[in-house]
């Protein structure tokens, strides 16, 4: 039995920062100078307006300065941005979609996870803790047709709320796998239920959370990226109906359409769930 170690905020942040820097899809945004001028000016002016409205003091200004410095030193920017900002970017980016709702990616996606076929078990340890979960579903296009070669990448936290590759003592690809839909668009995934996830509380994000009297919890969730030739990439998370943090997710990422309806086996030892995906054709 391996023992996993909960990462510190700095370890988690450093891992998320290193992973982000390898992201092939991150490049120049092609934003014009006029648009940079407008966006940067409006963000700065919104900060000015808040300072004037609340008569922010020098002591508070310096506390924020120290906090921002700490945020950078502990590499926590990916954690901060994905918890408090990404959900609005996702909302704006996908507002015209007719297929499935998506939600934020978060900081812990890793591409190229092991292939698991159309019907398979996600990589996991022997005796992986947590309730076994069998998920069946189908991937189709908005016109109802099967899309050949549709892929579903799954990643999620374990029963301790920890992600492989971002906590030590966990096998590299634990609870990360890539499924390919069969000729009818179907897949079946065997995994375990993830536990709710607490964002690290010992760093700059945690300092903000405790200073503001917030909590650090995300409800338990399964992350997915569903992709297919000629279709828009769907990044989503699926949630469980019995989680107390579905209503107050620190990352504001829960949507009613993303809550699963799992059925518990007669002896209570395992669950099954059905959830399908509809992908939007890529816009020309």
Q: Which does 155 bind (CB under 5 to 8 A by kind): Fe ion, ligand DHB, none?
A: none
Q: Which is nearer to ligand DHB, 185 or 200 (CB)?
A: 200
Q: Which does 251 bind (CB under 5 to 8 A by kind): Fe ion, ligand DHB, none?
A: ligand DHB
Q: Which is nearer to ligand DHB, 238 or 251 (CB)?
A: 251
Q: Which does 82 bind (CB under 5 to 8 A by kind): Fe ion, ligand DHB, none?
A: ligand DHB
Cα–Cα dist 15/94, whole Å:
28
Among 71, 83, 116, 209, the residue binding ligand DHB under the rule CB under 6 A is 83
Is residue 83 within 8 Å of residue 142, measured between CB atoms? no
Map the footprint of ligand DHB across residues 8-27, applying CB under 6 A. Answer: none
Provide the minimum distance between the beta carbon of 184 and Fe ion in the complex, in angstroms, as a whole number.
30
Q: Which is nearer to Fe ion, 106 or 262 (CB)?
A: 106
Map the footprint of Fe ion across residues 100-159, applying CB under 5 A. Answer: 106
Is residue 219 within 8 Å of residue 184, measured between CB atoms? no
Closest CA to 9 of 208, 215, 200, 251: 200
Closest CA to 135 of 196, 184, 197, 179: 179
Beta strand 132-141 pairing with 234-239: unpaired
Cα–Cα dist 13/20, whole Å:
10
List of residues contacting ligand DHB (CB under 6 A): 79, 82-83, 106-108, 197, 199, 218, 251
């Amino acid at each position: 039995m391996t023992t996993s170690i909960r990462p510190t905020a700095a370890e988690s942040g450093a891992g998320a920062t290193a992973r982000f820097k390898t992201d092939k899809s991150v490049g120049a945004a092609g934003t014009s100078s006029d648009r940079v001028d407008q966006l940067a000016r409006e963000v700065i002016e919104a900060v000015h307006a808040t300072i004037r409205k609340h008569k922010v003091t020098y002591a508070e200004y310096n506390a924020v300065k120290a906090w921002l410095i700490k945020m950078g030193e502990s590499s926590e920017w990916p954690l901060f941005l994905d918890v408090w900002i990404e959900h609005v970017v996702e909302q704006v980016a996908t507002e015209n979609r007719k297929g499935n709702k998506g939600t934020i990616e978060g900081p812990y996606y890793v591409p190229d996870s092991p292939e698991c076929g159309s019907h398979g078990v996600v990589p996991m340890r022997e005796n992986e803790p947590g309730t076994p979960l069998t998920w069946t579903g189908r991937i189709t296009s908005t016109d109802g047709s099967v899309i050949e070669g549709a892929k579903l990448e799954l990643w999620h936290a374990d029963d301790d709320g920890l992600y492989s590759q971002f906590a030590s003592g966990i096998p590299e690809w634990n609870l990360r796998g890539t499924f390919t839909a069969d000729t009818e668009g179907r897949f079946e995934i065997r995994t375990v239920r993830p536990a709710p996830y607490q964002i690290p509380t010992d760093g700059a994000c945690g300092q903000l959370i405790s200073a503001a009297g917030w909590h650090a919890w995300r409800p338990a969730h399964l992350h997915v990226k569903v992709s297919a030739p000629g279709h828009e990439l769907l990044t989503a998370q699926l949630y469980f109906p019995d989680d107390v943090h579905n209503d107050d997710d620190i990352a504001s990422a829960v949507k009613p359409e993303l809550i699963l309806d799992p059925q518990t086996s007669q002896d209570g030892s395992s669950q099954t769930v059905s959830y399908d995906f509809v992908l939007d054709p890529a816009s020309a």
